[in-house]
C-alpha cells in the first residue's frame, strides 16, 4: 500500500524543505517536490504542518524494579503513550542485577517487551556487576544481540554501583568492541554520607533529595568518568541525564579537546526546578524525585542546558522515563526522602516539550529534530533505518501541527501514572498524525495501532565511533 503525505514541510538536520513524502509499505519510497508525486495513491494532507522523523527516546525504564517497587508503565502502556506523543522508537535499559548472568537479565527484558510493544524498541544493557563474566558478555551482546551500549552507575552503592576499577575495565572492553559506555555520573558514596547526615538532622522532606545530591557531585563524577575514559584510550562515553552547569562544562571541555564524549539531558532539567517542584509543600515534591535531581532556579542551569543543546555539547534529549504513581509508590518515602522511588514519567511529552523550545526561540527547527530523533539514531546504531526522512528509511513519521495546542494533564495523558510532572503545561504545537513503519497509529487524538506490532531492533555500532 502506498501513501503520499502532501503539502507539508519536511524537517531534517539539514533544514526545512517543502516536499511530499511517498510511503510504500513500511518504508519511505521517495521525496517529491510539492505536487509532483504519483496521483494514484491515498494521500495524507499535511498542509501547514511539519513532517518530521518519528521521535526516538533513547532512555526509558519500563517496568524497572527500583526503590522497592516497579516503574508503573509496562511496555504496553509506555509504548502506547510514547506513540501518542510522537515517539516511534524507544531504547529501554535491560538490567543485569548484581550477581546475575548478563544474558539472563537481557532475556528477562525480552520477555517483558516481546509481544507487548506498540512501537519499535531496542535495549541498552545496565551492568550491575562488572567482572570477568560480564566483560565477556559485553562482546557477545555487541556481536550477537544488537546491544552496543552499556550503562554503568557511579551512584547507588549496593544497588547498581560500579567502582572506578570496574568502570575502567568496562571502558577498556568497550574501546575494543566498539560499544558506548553510558554513565550515571553522580558520586554515590559521598551522596550516601550526605543523605545519612540529613536524615540524622530530621530533614526528611522531598527537597532534601535534591539538596543531598549537589551539583558538585555530578560535576566531580562527570569529570572522573571523562578521565577514566581517557585512560581507556578514549572509549566512547555518553553521560546520561545531565542536569547541571558544571557537569556540562566538563563535557564541553572534553569535547573542545576533541574527546569522544557525548551527553544527553532530559525535559525535566530544561523546565522544572528544585524550588518550584521538588520543594512543593508537604510531600507533594515526591512527584519530582529523580536522579540526577532537579536543580536550583537561582543558578543558570536551564539557560546553560538550552545553550548546550544549541551548540551540540548536549547531543540528545531523552526522558529517563521512569514513572511511579504517587499513591503507594512515591508514598513509600513519606517521612524519609531516601525511600521515595526515583523517577519521573515523560515519554509522552518529549517531542512537544522540545518543540516549545522552538516556539520560545531557544532551539531551531532543525536542532529540534536532531536532538529528538536523528542524533539518537546515529548515536545508538539505528541510522539510517530510523531518525531521518529519506528513501529507504522506515516510514516512522510524525505530522506536527505548529498551529495546534497541547495541554499536558493527568486527565488526558496515556502513561500509567496518577499525576503528571508537567500538569497544566501548554505547548504551542500538537502531534497531529503518527506513522510507525508506514501504519497510521495515531490521528486526530485517536489510537489505531495495536499491542505487539512493535518490533525489536538489534542495533549496530554508533555512527560517532572514531
What DSSP string runs through 260-279? SEEEEE-HHHHH--IIIIIT
237 with 180: CB under 8 angstroms?
yes
Binding piece for Zn ion, criterion CB under 5 A, among 16-24, 215-223, 319-327, 395-403: 319-327
Paired sense of beta strands 15-18 and 9-12, if any: antiparallel
51 with 435: CB under 8 angstroms?
no
Q: Residue 384's CB: how many other CB atoms inside 10 A?
A: 16
From ligand DUC, Zn ion, none, interface partner of 290 (C-beta below 5 to 8 A by class): ligand DUC
Binding piece for Zn ion, criterion CB under 5 A, among 6-14, 201-209, 317-325, 365-373: 317-325
Min dist. Cβ of residue 319 to Zn ion (A): 9
Q: State which residue, 3 or 154, has the beta carbon closest to Zn ion.
A: 154
Among 320, 352, 370, 432, indicate the residue that binds Zn ion (CB under 5 A): 320
Helices (H), 89-187: 102-113, 132-140, 164-177
Q: Which residue is nearest to ligand DUC (CB)?
A: 290
The HSE-up count of residue 278 (CA atoms within 13 Å, CB side) is 30
Instruction: Give the closest residue to 126 by CA, choosing from 156, 91, 165, 153.
Output: 153
The three cell numbers of residue 238 are 555518553
Taking the alpha carbons at both ends of the chain, their separation in whole angstroms is: 40
- Of 280-309, binders to ligand DUC (CB under 6 A) are 290-291
From Zn ion, ligand DUC, none, interface partner of 343 (C-beta below 5 to 8 A by class): ligand DUC
Under the binding rule (CB under 6 A), the answer on residue 437 touching ligand DUC is no
Among 212, 245, 319, 342, indicate the residue that binds ligand DUC (CB under 6 A): 342
Q: State which residue, 89 or 436, has the beta carbon closest to Zn ion.
A: 89
Q: Residue 450's CB: how many other CB atoms inside 10 A?
A: 11
Quick note: the x/- pattern for Zn ion over 84-123, rule CB under 5 A, is ----------------------------------------
Number of residues that bind ligand DUC (CB under 6 A): 9
From Zn ion, ligand DUC, none, interface partner of 287 (C-beta below 5 to 8 A by class): none
| Residue 104 burial (C-beta neighbours within 10 Å; 0-12, 13-18, 19+) | exposed
Which element (helix H / strand E) includes 401? strand 397-401
Under the binding rule (CB under 6 A), the answer on residue 184 touching ligand DUC is yes
Under the binding rule (CB under 5 A), the answer on residue 321 touching Zn ion is no
Distance CA 327, CA 77 (A): 18
Under the binding rule (CB under 6 A), the answer on residue 343 touching ligand DUC is yes
Cell 504551542 appears where?
A: 428
Cell 551539583 appears where?
A: 215
From Zn ion, ligand DUC, none, interface partner of 342 (C-beta below 5 to 8 A by class): ligand DUC
Instruction: Give the closest residue to 122 by CA, choosing from 78, 88, 89.
Output: 89
Min dist. Cβ of residue 408 to ligand DUC (A): 19
Quick note: the x/- pattern for Zn ion over 370-409, rule CB under 5 A, is ----------------------------------------
Alpha-carbon torsion (30, 34, 38, 40), positive or negative? positive
Among 49, 61, 350, 430, indicate the residue that binds ligand DUC (CB under 6 A): 61
329 with 417: CB under 8 angstroms?
no
Quick note: the x/- pattern for Zn ion over 179-218, rule CB under 5 A, is -----x----------------------------------
Give contact residues for ligand DUC (rule: CB under 6 A). Answer: 61, 66, 184, 290-291, 320, 322, 342-343
Give contact residues for Zn ion (rule: CB under 5 A). Answer: 184, 320
Amino acid at each position: 500500500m502506498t501513501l503520499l503525505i502532501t503539502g507539508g514541510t519536511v524537517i531534517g538536520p539539514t533544514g526545512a524543505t517543502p516536499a511530499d513524502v511517498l510511503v510504500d509499505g513500511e518504508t519511505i519510497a521517495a521525496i517529491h517536490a510539492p505536487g509532483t508525486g504519483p496521483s494514484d495513491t491515498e494521500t495524507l494532507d499535511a498542509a501547514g504542518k511539519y513532517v518530521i522523523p518519528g521521535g526516538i527516546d533513547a532512555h526509558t525504564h519500563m517496568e524497572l524494579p527500583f526503590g522497592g517497587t516497579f516503574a508503573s508503565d509496562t511496555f504496553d502502556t509506555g509504548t502506547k503513550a510514547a506513540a501518542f506523543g510522537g515517539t516511534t522508537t524507544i531504547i529501554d535499559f535491560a538490567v543485569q542485577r548484581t550477581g546475575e548472568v548478563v544474558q539472563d537479565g537481557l532475556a528477562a527484558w525480552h520477555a517483558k517487551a516481546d509481544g507487548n510493544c506498540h512501537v519499535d524498541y531496542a535495549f541498552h544493557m545496565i551492568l550491575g556487576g562488572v567482572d570477568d563474566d560480564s566483560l565477556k558478555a559485553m562482546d557477545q551482546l555487541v556481536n550477537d544481540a544488537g546491544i552496543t551500549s552499556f550503562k554503568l552507575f557511579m551512584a547507588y552503592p549496593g544497588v547498581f554501583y560500579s567502582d572506578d576499577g570496574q568502570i575502567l575495565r568496562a571502558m577498556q572492553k568497550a574501546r575494543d568492541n566498539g560499544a558506548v559506555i553510558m554513565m550515571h555520573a553522580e558520586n554515590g558514596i559521598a551522596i550516601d554520607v550526605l543523605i545519612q547526615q540529613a536524615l540524622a538532622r530530621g530533614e526528611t522532606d522531598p527537597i532534601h533529595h535534591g539538596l543531598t545530591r549537589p551539583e558538585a557531585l555530578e560535576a566531580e563524577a562527570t569529570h572522573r568518568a571523562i578521565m577514566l575514559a581517557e585512560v581507556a584510550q578514549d572509549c566512547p562515553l555518553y553521560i546520561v541525564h545531565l542536569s547541571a552547569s558544571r557537569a556540562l562544562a566538563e563535557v564541553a571541555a572534553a569535547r573542545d579537546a576533541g574527546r569522544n564524549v557525548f551527553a544527553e539531558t532530559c525535559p525535566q532539567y530544561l523546565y522544572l526546578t528544585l524550588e518550584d517542584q521538588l520543594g512543593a509543600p508537604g510531600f507533594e515534591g515526591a512527584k519530582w524525585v529523580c536522579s540526577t535531581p532537579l536543580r536550583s532556579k537561582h543558578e543558570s542551569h536551564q539557560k546553560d542546558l538550552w545553550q548546550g543543546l544549541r551548540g551540540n555539547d548536549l547531543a540528545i534529549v531523552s526522558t529517563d522515563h521512569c514513572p511511579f504513581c504517587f499513591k503507594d509508590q512515591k508514598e513509600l518515602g513519606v517521612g524519609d526522602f531516601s525511600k521515595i522511588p526515583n523517577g519521573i514519567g515523560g515519554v509522552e511529552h518529549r517531542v512537544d516539550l522540545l518543540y516549545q523550545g522552538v516556539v520560545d526561540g531557544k532551539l531551531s527547527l532543525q536542532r529540534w529534530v536532531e536532538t529528538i530523533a536523528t542524533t539518537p539514531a546515529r548515536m545508538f546504531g539505528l541510522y539510517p533505518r530510523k531518525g531521518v526522512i529519506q528513501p529507504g528509511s522506515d516510514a516512522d513519521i510524525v505530522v506536527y501541527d505548529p498551529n495546534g495546542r497541547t495541554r499536558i494533564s493527568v486527565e488526558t495523558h496515556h502513561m500509567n501514572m496518577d499525576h503528571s510532572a508537567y500538569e497544566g503545561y501548554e505547548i504551542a504545537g500538537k502531534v497531529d498524525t503518527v506513522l510507525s513503519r508506514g501504519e497510521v497509529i495515531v490521528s486526530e487524538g485517536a489510537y489505531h495501532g495495536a499491542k505487539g506490532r512493535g518490533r525489536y531492533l538489534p542495533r549496530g555500532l554508533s555512527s560517532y565511533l572514531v
